[in-house]
Amino acid sequence: MSDRFTIRPATTADLGTIADSLVAGLSTYHSWTPVGWNPPARAEMLIGLLQRFPRDGSWAHVAFEGSQPAGHISLRPDRDEAGEQRPDVALLTQLFVREEYWGSGLATQLNALGRADMMERGFSSGRLLVARGHRRARAFYEREGWRATGEYETSGELGLELAEYVLELS
């Protein structure tokens, strides 16, 4: 692993930085989303983060190059349609790298850290949902061993169709 980035566990004090990374990341979606699509506002994202983290079992890591935020990953125990925790499955809820760090290897580092975290916490598999039209992200996850299930759902928060991916941990 490169020592270019400092990656550490996130605390509630990092939620503003995470919200900023979400704003930056989602702003890149305009190149492939429908005309008129807009991401949620930063305030909405920050409120959602504050309501969930860590009450729903979420954990996250933030990455910096020096003092400059570079990206983050967040995960939590997965839940079924009834809202019950699926004890063996972790959900990768976010993996965002700021555009100026694309191609740096940071996404691979964060994904590997997330995988190690899931295994350390006793999960046997991971699951994620990624925007169906986000070809770059989907290609990344496939290179990293995630497998598309062919299942799709629409995100109420984003208003985008999401593709499901799974990862068997070993």
Q: Among 89, 93, 87, which Cα is nearest to 75's?
A: 93
Predicted confidence (pLDDT) per residue in 54-83, tens digit: 788 999 999 999 999 999 999 999 998 888
* pLDDT 10s digits, 4-20: 999 999 999 999 999 99
The full set of domain ranges for the chain reads: 6-168
Phi, psi torsion values for 22, nearest 5 degrees: -65, -45
pTM reported for the whole predicted model: 0.93
| Among 166, 169, 124, 132, CA closest to 149 | 166
Residues β-bridged to residue 163: 130, 152
Q: Are 97 and 71 in contact (CB under 8 A)?
A: yes
Question: Topology of 6-168 in CATH?
Answer: Aminopeptidase (3.40.630)
Band of pLDDT at residue 167, cut at 50, 70 and 90: very high
Name the nearest CA neighbour of 18 among 63, 54, 77.
63
Neighbours of 127 (CB within 10 A): 18
